[in-house]
Structure 1
Amino acid sequence: MTTSTGGSPSLLTTSQASWIEHFDRQVQEIAKEHPQLSATKARMKALAQACSEIGWSEKEIRNKMAIWRGYKEIKDHGGWVCLVFAGMGIYRFCKYRIGFDPESMAILRRTRTRFEVAADTLHPHWRDMLTIVGDTSSRVYNGHPHDWVVSDHDDPVPLKQTYLQYDPQFSFTHLDSSVVDPYAFGANDPRQVVVQSQQAAHVCNVCGEKQSEDVMESTCRCFPNLFGSDQLPVAPVQIFRTKNGRNNGLLACCPFERGVAIGEFTGLITKGLE
């Protein structure tokens, strides 16, 4: 409950948020059993019980509970997923109440399902941790992270569903490697620099090593997102439903370097765009 030595910080914050829920229920039970007590006195009685059981002073437990209540508020607005995947910085946010304004909490509520889509598809068993706090919810979003279209106000929907209005037989396949459009680029590979001879067509102009889609043959490591990777990392983007009638778009979840391949969304390499 109080230390993360040898354990998981996310497990600790989740347990502490759950403890606050139990404390609030205990206050309600005391108020129900002793209707003559005011809300403040019922809370003080529950606080005295907690001090006796845990062995802390009232001041110490109040300080702890202030931080733990921050965890609970984050859980209430963003779901358990926000605590399970939060970094160590969550302690500072809750201790100093950074960003606990109504506007920020509203944003957190709107992005809750986006977090759950990412968690369910990238870490399918993350909900198993919640059994410790009595939550038995099961996985909601199956498949690839980009199988789902998210939005600010509606639940995520399968990607295929958003295109059926245009093509009832619509289907798609996730690509594990780049596909160059021969109609746009001919026999040239747009990922490679200009070369002086055909022999040098697959030799990196920077390090002089061979570039190849075959991981066993590629020795170039200058562009790991395009060459020499047996499994491209999932791009930090989500598909979102646009509000202006343009169907789907891409939403960056965190900063990444300009020019990084976005998996199956690389598409045609364009020019003149900002």
Structure 2
Amino acid sequence: MRIASPRSLTVVTAAVLCAGALVTAFPFLWMVSGSVKPRSESVAHPPRLLPRAPTFENFARLFGEMDFGRYLVNTVVVVLISMVGVLLMAMAGYGFAKFRFRGRGPMFFLVLATMMIPVQVTMIPTYLILNGVGLTGTLAGVALPGLVSGFGVFLFRQFMSAVPTEMIEAARIDGAGEPRIFWRIVLPLSRPVLAVQIVLTFIGAWNSFLWPLIIADDERLYTLSVGVSLLNRQIATSPSLQMAGATLMVVPVLIVFVVFQRHIVQGFTLSGLR
């Protein structure tokens, strides 16, 4: 029996991977293509992958007729508020990693325990708390419940545990205060895990759907995900409009992932090994 050469195996493996990549990417290509099709082409039979006459009319309708500009601004505001949580989680992770204090173990166990509680279980208590302080019907109320996560604190703690303690002690001996040590030494060394958490926070805030739908009592406070869901009633008459809304949701996430891709892989690898 003849054994296949390494070159033949490489070619076959590459062909299989390319075929899998095309199958995986096809829905995305269909979505982007459909977003620039005129309505006549979007309902044509048989369907075509590439439009004959590309147009950005669907995006113009989203921003001109359906108030998607406001939804986009709301989503960006929620994302920016959520980014404050990245700094808070970094501080908490640094505290658990490098400080010794009474109750550190039980407190960190409670942080990990929050990862076992489904978010749906805490929605009603969270809503009642926000309603009691007058934050329902505000963008702050949309963003604050997701500001800090147990997984984020755990990720920072795991990574920062590997930061050399001797370096921190030397900075203290030289007279550096704790805020300066955190900003000038710990954070720069934690760039990979910062990139990971920024991407995770961005995706969570950008794609958040159920909580903004619950907390926003005015359509002017809706986010993009809620706005896209409102297009479902129009999918029978204008599929290309739905595709344009979906493209508006997906493309920014892909851009952020591509920009931080190298740091994401490095951050997950280092956090897992250490």
Which bracket does the TM-score occupy, shorter chain normalised? under 0.3
Structure with a larger share of its residues in strand = 1
Structure with a larger share of its residues in helix = 2
TM (norm. structure 1) is: 0.24
